A and B are shown apart, each in its own frame.
Chain A
Amino acid sequence: METEILENLKKAVVAYDCEGAASWARKAVEEKVDPVKALGALTEAIRQVGDGYEKGELWLPDLVGAAESMQSATPILNEAIKRAGGEKQSLGTVVAGAVFGDIHSIGITMVSTLLTAAGFEVHLLGVNISAEQFTEAIREYEADILAMSALLTMTAPEQKRVIDFLKKEGIRDKVKIMVGGGSINAEFAKAIGADGYDPTAPGAVSLARKLTGKGG
């Protein structure tokens, strides 16, 4: 039974089947399959999709589809781990959002989905997020990483404002900051005092691993 459940969890992820993944996760809990083992099956499946992406056989819609199906199963398994007195598995906590004045959500949504699938706990605040709101969330969730996006030329400088505000509040050094967005580059990121920049969503996952010391 356990083998069947673990196999079906993997199949659901590679078939982008959110309902199936959730349903097999519930089944795993009912049948008392070790939830850590079940999470491992999901991770293996997402890695398989990631490999396909790296080889150029799969694309972002496949990656996001697999990540979302994994996301529909992980809370169920994490809850079971918690009930059993275990620690929630996470590579780190991320607060993410598009900066104040920027209403473009797709980039940061994509990054958040892939970070979650990689094993980070992500709190996506949404778009048009002020420096104060980022700061509050970093404190509330004790974030390891702040991931900010700004698509527009007119909103990119807002990323600097957030970093300056964090310095003013005395918490800049408590969090790693990664920035992204269509109109910025690595020089800009460095100039505003960010810790890292990557132009792509999958690259942002490697960057987050690097920044938290969990491998590139």
Chain B
Amino acid sequence: MLKGFTRRFKALEVVTEEELDAIHRGALDVLETTGVRVEHDRALKLFAKNDCQVDFEEKRVRIPPWLVEDCLRKCPSSYLAKARDPKYDLRIGGNTFYFLQGMGMRYVDLDTWETRPATIKEHREAMIVADALENMHFAGAYEFYMDRAGIPSCMVMLENLASGLRYSGKAEHMGYSLDCEKFAIKMAKELGINLQGELGMATPLTFYKEVVDATFSFAEAGFPLSPATVFTLGAEGPATLAAATVLADAGMMAHIVMGQLIKPGIGISIQHGIKPMDMKRGTPRYGAVSKGLTTVMVNQLLRRYAIPSFSTAGFTSNSKKIDFQCGFEKATGTLVSALSGGNMHVFHGGSAVELFYSPILSILDDDIAGWIGHFLEGVVVNDERLAINLINEVGPIPGHYLNREHTRKWWKEEQFIPKATDREVYPVWIKTGKKDAIDHAKEMMEEILATHKPKPLTSGEEQIIEDVLKEAREYYRKKGLITDEEWAVYMKTLESN
């Protein structure tokens, strides 16, 4: 079991208990009065059977407050993410905090900052780096480098997941598209692991067929669910933060009811990200202060419900480079998320909204993650650490602490030392080529690739992965989702790696 970080102090709050009550009541009212649109006959029948008011014509489900609150109580306060290597298993919930691998569609060239599709080798190397990083606890192989050279789009998520399982022992999660989740679930079950299902409802208040299908698939497999309520203020959601939080609460509670009706007691975490829209460009603004505030409000709600939180404030930046803005936007949002009681945070490696992923950035982000994690662990106050006798003994100058046993014993535990940041003194920095944090991270990546060995797959495990991939490839070929031309390129790409 990977410990992650433990928050040892009261979580940050931005609204009072009474204000939180008003948000919760408002969301219950929305679910009872307006309800949600659910484009899925099986789910509509399930809601109807459980005392919801269902209009089958309009595909509208109105959910009574008692059922919502009953389903909130059915959610366990924590659940297990089962990794390929058991030392990386995660217990998600309570006051633990885990960092996840981030996302980004393409590979980025760090000299030109231009992007392109990623190769098999680049995905593999990014996963080896992910496996090596101390503060990245949860891998997310499926969702970075979605634009893969030579791989048909219907196979990308599965090939990415397979690459993750081959080159990292860490826990994995999984999205859904064109039935790929069904193959992923099969693969995971045969490997004896689980995959947290990432499920995106459409805001406002709409569940399309695909997400409901995936909810059934993951829940019936007994895999934890992670419904997402992700939208922009003043566009898909209302402009005020309070109203947006009501809408987010209504959406997530509707998905919780659905999950608990399908499989009572199933583990659920809520993924949330409410951000403002750039009212000039119509694009989401990451790193905005209102995203931080809504993150805290949703975390407050989730702590009240005792349901794990998967937050995304600071998961990416609007910056197209690894630069000041990138670090600033990612670090501030993530810090707020951690301080307010989040349990998981998608973070390492992504920037330019979701355009690129960089293993170099993941190494740099690992320093931010370490800093935040160390902060969460807080301060231990006991006799030995208070060291009153020592302070009296050393007294005023010329007394000092460098020569003390107490210093030798405690300084490393009490300090966090980032690995990639530049801490060199100026003359040495000049002499050694003026290296910055990115230069250090590049060197670290070379070192990791030369020395780090993820836990290898057994031949049986490799066979399971390959068999499921083969089955999926045939399925998509039969469905016509891989053309002959794509197939030829695909096979050549696989052979050349």
Contact = CB atoms under 8 A, between A and B. Distances in A.
Contacts of B115: 185, 187-188
Interface stretch (B76-84, B274-282, B296-304): B274-282
B280 A59 contact: yes
B235 interface: yes
Rank and list the top 4 A-B pairs by shortest CB-CB distance, nearest first.
A157-B153, A153-B105, A153-B146, A59-B279
B401 to A, nearest CB: 51
Interface size class of A (residues with CB under 8 A): 35 or more
Contacts of B281: 60, 199-201
Given A152-B354, A154-B143, A156-B105, A101 B178 contact: yes
Contacts, number: 92
Given A127-B202, A164-B483, A182-B353, A200 B279 contact: no
B177 A183 contact: no
Contact of A182 (B144, B200, B234, B284): B284
Contacts of A185: 115, 355
Contacts of B353: 182-183
Interface in B282-316: 282-284
Given A128-B208, A183-B105, A185-B355, A156 B279 contact: no
7 contacts: A61-B279, A153-B103, A153-B354, A154-B157, A156-B105, A183-B353, A188-B105
Contacts of A59: 279-280
A154 B106 contact: no
Contacts of A157: 146-147, 153, 156
Contacts of B114: 187
Given A59-B279, A60-B279, A153 B206 contact: no
Interface of B: 103-106, 114-117, 143-144, 146-147, 153, 156-157, 175, 177-178, 200, 202, 206, 208, 210-211, 232, 234-236, 277, 279-284, 353-355, 481, 483
Contact of A153 (B104, B277, B282): B104
A176 interface: no
A103 B236 contact: no
Contacts of B143: 153-154
Contacts of B208: 103, 127-128
A106 B354 contact: no
A160 interface: yes
A155 interface: yes
A84 to B, nearest CB: 37
A153 B143 CA distance: 8
Contact of A187 (B116, B146, B284): B116
Nearest to B177: A101
Contacts of A154: 143, 146, 156-157, 175, 177
A91 B440 CA distance: 55
A200 B144 CA distance: 24
Nearest to B284: A182
A107 interface: yes
B210 A128 contact: yes
